[in-house]
Amino acid sequence: MASPIVKWAGGKRQLLEELVARMPLEMNRYVEPFAGGAALYLAIADENRAAMRRRFNEARLSDMNEDLIVAYRTVASDVEAVIAELGGYRYEEELYYATRAVDPATLSPVQRTARLLFLNKTCFNGLWRVNAKGHFNVPFGRYTNPTICDDKALREAAPLLARASIEHRDFHEVVADLGAGDFVYFDPPYAPVSETADFTAYAKEGFGHGDHERLAHTFRALAERGVLCMLSNADTPLTRALYSDFAIESVEARRSVNSKSSARGKVSELIVTSWAPRS
Ligand SMILES: C[S@@+](CC[C@H](N)C(=O)[O-])C[C@H]1O[C@@H](n2cnc3c(N)ncnc32)[C@H](O)[C@@H]1O
């Protein structure tokens, strides 16, 4: 069964059932503007997951992380070349830092994809974090024999990614042309729960308070046009306030990204839908 090819902060694997249960069975366009690991898309587009399968005419995935977008496009178009390139990597600290130091813009799409997958599988905590210049800066991770090339996952995801249009754009631009019958799932970087739990460094632009307000504004405008909008985020006063006009439900999720391991564990996550009645 298809599942994410990268480990991503805020990955939605544990919330999948809750999200799918709320989705319409059919839609015109399926749009995921904060794709990250694209866990929801890979579940609902997979013909082998009968219970989660949803029908759509077109799919659109996008994210502000350019390396991720290049990787999705390249896996979609040339998964065997990516697998072959990954075969040249080994789990070694020296190779890790040498690979990390390479400027991805100087690489071919296949090399750039293999670099992202290798770093993602071998870095500390398996997360993608960039500094203010947009350079990946996570240290080497300690694992016992990590899987660098998960060829099964890559081959399963490839045809599903090939069915989607994949774009490197801000969320707002990606949804501008949507209308009634289209469905959008927004999974933005978390609104801060606390200073230590804040993790928004997926892309060099970050995602601040103003972006959360901009997103709520976009959500409302789309809902008014009849677009079916679903959003998940941390259960914080900010999220509750921004979406107070819509149906909000609280569900339990496990959080894996936190610098303090004591702060990991179960947290409440909110799911907002634009079509359900407010309860
Ligand atoms: C919480 S993650 C999505 C997790 C995803 N649902 C999953 O299953 O892995 C948020 C994503 O939003 C992206 N992002 C940050 N700012 C953005 C923006 N302005 N527009 C679009 N994507 C953005 C980040 O690069 C990150 O991949």
Contact yes or no for 120/133 (Cβ under 8 A):
no
Q: What is the pLDDT of residue 1?
A: 80
List the Cα angle 233/235/237 in 5-degree steps.
Answer: 110
3-state SS record for 112-152: HHHHHHHHHHHEHHHCCCECCCCCECCCECCCCCCCCCCHH
Percent of the chain with pLDDT over 90: 75
Q: What is the pLDDT of residue 9?
A: 82
User: Does 5 fall in a domain?
Assistant: no
Domain count, the chain: 2
56: domain CATH number is 3.40.50.150
Single pTM value for the model = 0.91
Residue 104 CB–ligand 1 contact under 6 Å: no
Do both 178 and 266 map to the same domain? yes
Residue 12 CB–ligand 1 contact under 6 Å: yes
Do both 92 and 224 map to the same domain? no
Do both 80 and 141 map to the same domain? yes
Do both 170 and 256 map to the same domain? yes
Last residue of a domain, one of 122, 154, 186: 154
Do both 167 and 115 map to the same domain? no
**Residue labelled with tokens 């989705």:** 23
Query: Which atom belonging to ligand 1 lies closest to the Cα atom of 39?
Result: 8
Do both 192 and 219 map to the same domain? yes
Return the residue whose CA atom lies nearest to atom 11 of ligand 1. 34
What is the domain extent for residue 144?
68-154
Read off the pLDDT of residues 20-53 as tens digits, 9 standing for 90 and up: 999 999 999 999 999 999 999 999 999 888 889 9
How far, in Å, from the CA of 47 to the mean position of ligand 1?
25
Do both 117 and 21 map to the same domain? no
User: Does 74 fall in a domain?
Assistant: yes
Q: What is the pLDDT of residue 128?
A: 83
List the Cα angle 213/214/217 in 5-degree steps.
Answer: 90
Read off the pLDDT of residues 71-129 as tens digits, 9 standing for 90 and up: 999 999 999 999 999 999 999 999 999 999 999 999 999 999 999 999 999 999 878 88
Q: What is the pLDDT of residue 114?
A: 98
Do both 28 and 131 map to the same domain? no
Comparing 93 with 206, the larger pLDDT belongs to 93
Q: What is the pLDDT of residue 276?
A: 75
How far, in Å, from the CA of 211 to the mean position of ligand 1?
12
Residue 230 CB–ligand 1 contact under 6 Å: no
The rounded distance, in Å, linking the Cα atoms of 69 and 82 is 14
Output DSSP code: residue 264.
-
User: Does 229 fall in a domain?
Assistant: yes
Residue 126 CB–ligand 1 contact under 6 Å: no
Read off the pLDDT of residues 220-276 as tens digits, 9 standing for 90 and up: 999 999 999 999 998 999 999 999 999 999 998 765 554 444 455 567 899 999 997
How far, in Å, from the CA of 200 to the mean position of ligand 1?
9
Find the range with the poorest average confidence among 56-70, 127-141, 253-267: 253-267
Residue 64 CB–ligand 1 contact under 6 Å: yes
Report the side by side order of strands in the sheet with 228-234. Answer: 164-167, 55-62, 26-32, 183-186, 228-234, 265-273, 247-255
User: Does 4 fall in a domain?
Assistant: no
Query: Which atom belonging to ligand 1 lies closest to the Cα atom of 188?
Result: 10
Last residue of a domain, one of 154, 180, 202: 154
Do both 59 and 181 map to the same domain? yes
Q: What is the pLDDT of residue 204?
A: 63
Last residue of a domain, one of 134, 154, 174: 154
Evaluate if residue 279 carries a pLDDT over 60.
Answer: no
Residue 261's identity, in one-letter code, is S
